[in-house]
Amino acid sequence: MYPPGSHGDMNLSYTSSEAGPSQSDPEYIVVGAGLAGLAAAVTLHRAGREVALLERDDSVGGRVRTDIESGFVLDRGFQVLLTTYPELGRHLDLASLNLRPFIRGANVWDAGRFVELAHPRSSFRGALNALRTGAFTPGDRFRLLKFGVRLGRSKHLLMTPADDCPTGELLERLGFSSHSMMTFWEPLLSGIQLTSSLEGSARLASLILRCLARGPAAVPAEGMQAIPRQMASNLPANVIRLRTEVEAIHGSKLLLTGGEELSARRVVIATEQRTAARLLREEPRSTRSQWHAYFGADEAPNDSRAIHLMAAGQGPCRNLAIMSNVAPEYAPHGKALIVVAGPTTDAEPPLTQVRQQLQSVFGSQTESWQLLKAGVVAEAQPTFVPGTPLVRQQQLGNFLIAGDHQATPSIQGALVSGRVAAHAAIAE
């Protein structure tokens, strides 16, 4: 057994006195079929290793799940794929995902209306607006351009982990106006990082902004769960064991709910951080939550394919997207699907304030919008404080740890962590 909190970040060793794997046990076991576990299992399988992937739920995907309700495609929380995440090419066939891209830009609420600002390659109208909007001062426009060029060229995301700081501090240092912070930067980055303001890591923000500058965010036509489903399709059918929960770790063995015991040469624990901490007898780290609400409407409130940004002072909504403008497959014919979301520390979505905010933005048409689904995704992302390394490789004896909590709290981070853990397991 591991004493609580007995390891730091790297390669601590543990020697088990228990018996090793029996002949019927698989060579490698991965626990958790979220993106990290799938990346680990597929990496091991491609390397010719025998692997079993154990998943507690009835489906793969972990936090990337989709429900179909009355013909609407409802992801579990508002989330998008940044199509230029560097890790995607190793794991996904993007062409087969039928990606539906958002406009490369944002629809910014300023002076009582939304203004679509966009990259010239994405929308001519949006690019013209970007030159004229009051959301940015002329100085902000110049700084944005310079920031974009620096981000594109920098190998190290502008700073080392030791120099990392809160994002707001970096943006202030770069000279952005307080108006642009309120209307653009804060709703953009707090919506992605699920922070209450701009306290998240500037390095992580730089990574996200660099991806956004290089290509669009998108959703698969069939919903976000198409991503893990495609990864699972790269594994032989008998590799994945659904409804199989690891209850505890006894020495080098996994005890499953129901009493079965399994062991393997190497085990990759790819659960979310709270379960990994319980299994490994550590203190769980802090996490961030997202509330979201989906509305069905007879008509879309506008024709924008951009993510709408709403300032913090205005109400609980930070991000809004008219999903059916982006991916018509997300709504039945003749209907529109609107999602709103924001960071939260509460257990319930702030629906009354959301309704009020939507009405103040889009007027009385929102009264006929039908609430399809609302909720809070608790522990949506592990907290990533300034100075956190972009990827860690943690090992305890024959257990390797993967998951977005070992890298960045994102699809990119989950995929990287799974691959890194699998390579470490193979290298042993």
Ligand X SMILES: Cc1cc2nc3c(=O)[nH]c(=O)nc-3n(C[C@H](O)[C@H](O)[C@H](O)COP(=O)(O)OP(=O)(O)OC[C@H]3O[C@@H](n4cnc5c(N)ncnc54)[C@H](O)[C@@H]3O)c2cc1C
Stretch that binds ligand X, among 30-38, 233-241, 320-328, 367-375 (CB under 6 A): 30-38
36 contributes a contact to ligand X by CB under 6 A: yes
Q: In the bound complex, what is the minimum distance in angstroms from residue 132's beta carbon to ligand X?
A: 29
Q: Where are the alpha helices (DSSP H) in 87-240?
A: 88-91, 124-132, 138-153, 167-174, 178-180, 186-193, 202-214, 226-232
Contact between 410 and ligand X (CB under 6 A)? yes
Q: Binding to ligand X by residue 331, rule CB under 6 A?
A: no
Residue 84 DSSP symbol? T
Find the part of the chain contacting ligand X (CB under 6 A) among 19-27, 97-105, 306-314, 404-412.
404-412
CB of 85 to ligand X, least distance (A): 7
CB 394, CB 406: distance < 8 Å? yes
Of the candidates 226, 414, 421, 424, which one interacts with ligand X according to CB under 6 A? 414
Q: Which of 54, 115, 170, 309 binds ligand X (CB under 6 A)?
A: 54
> In terms of DSSP bridges, do strands 370-382 and 336-344 run parallel, antiparallel, or are they unpaired?
unpaired
Q: Per CB under 6 A, which region of 76-84, 86-94, 114-122, 164-172 contacts ligand X?
A: 76-84
For the window 285-304, what string marks contact with ligand X as x by the rule CB under 6 A? -----x--------------
Residue 164: CA count within 13 A, CB half-sphere: 21
Tell me if 57 contacts ligand X by CB under 6 A. Answer: yes
Segment contacting ligand X by CB under 6 A, of 8-16, 110-118, 271-279, 355-363? 271-279
Q: Which is nearer to ligand X, 275 or 324 (CB)?
A: 275
Q: Phi and psi at residue 140, in whole multiples of 5°? A: -60, -40
CB of 97 vs ligand X, minimal distance in Å? 14
Q: Rule CB under 6 A: say whether 34 interacts with ligand X.
A: yes
Q: Which one among 295, 323, 403, 421 touches ligand X, defined by CB under 6 A? A: 403
Does 32 engage in binding with ligand X (CB under 6 A)? yes
Binders in 198-237 for ligand X, by CB under 6 A: none
Cβ atoms within 10 Å of 237's Cβ, excluding its own: 7
381 makes contact with ligand X (CB under 6 A): yes
Asked if residue 62 binds ligand X (CB under 6 A), the reply is: yes
By beta-carbon proximity to ligand X, the closer residue of 31 and 44 is 31
CB of 91 to ligand X, least distance (A): 12
79 binds ligand X (CB under 6 A): yes
| 113-118/105-110 β-pairing | antiparallel
Work out which of 37, 126, 168, 187 binds ligand X, going by CB under 6 A.
37
Which whole-number Å values give the CA distances from 255 to 241, 265, 277, 279, 424, in the listed order? 15, 15, 16, 10, 23
Decide if 40 contacts 17 (C-beta within 8 A). no
Find, among 349, 364, 379, 376, the residue nearest to 272 by Cα: 379
Least CB distance to ligand X at residue 57 (A)? 4
Which stretches within 100-137 are classed as H helix? 124-132
Region from 19-27, 97-105, 269-277, 361-369 binding ligand X, contact rule CB under 6 A: 269-277
> Applying CB under 6 A, which of residues 31, 99, 144, 239 lies at the interface with ligand X?
31
E strand or H helix that includes residue 352: helix 351-362
Residue 404 lies near ligand X (rule: CB under 6 A):
yes
Reduce the DSSP state of residue 399 to 3 states and report it.
Answer: strand
For residue 409, state whether it binds ligand X (rule: CB under 6 A).
yes
14 to 7, 18, 25, 140, 426: CA distances (angstroms) = 10, 12, 21, 53, 18
Tokens read off for 27 = 């060579």
Degrees (nearest 5) of the Cα angle 40, 384, 418? 5
Interface stretch with ligand X, choices 75-83, 162-170, 258-266, 353-361 (CB under 6 A): 75-83
Q: Which residues contact 307 (CB under 8 A, 6 or more apart)?
A: 80, 102, 106, 107, 191, 217, 319, 320, 321
CA within 13 Å, CB half, 210:
18
Report the b/e string of 113-123 with b at 16+ CB within 10 A.
ebbbbbbeebb
Q: In the stretch 235-254, what mask flags binding to ligand X with x, by CB under 6 A?
A: ----------xx--------
Q: Is 64 in the site for ligand X (CB under 6 A)?
A: yes
Report the C-alpha gap between 133 and 196 in whole angstroms.
25
Binding site for ligand X (CB under 6 A): 31-37, 54-57, 62-64, 77, 79-80, 245-246, 270-272, 275, 290, 377, 380-381, 403-404, 409-414
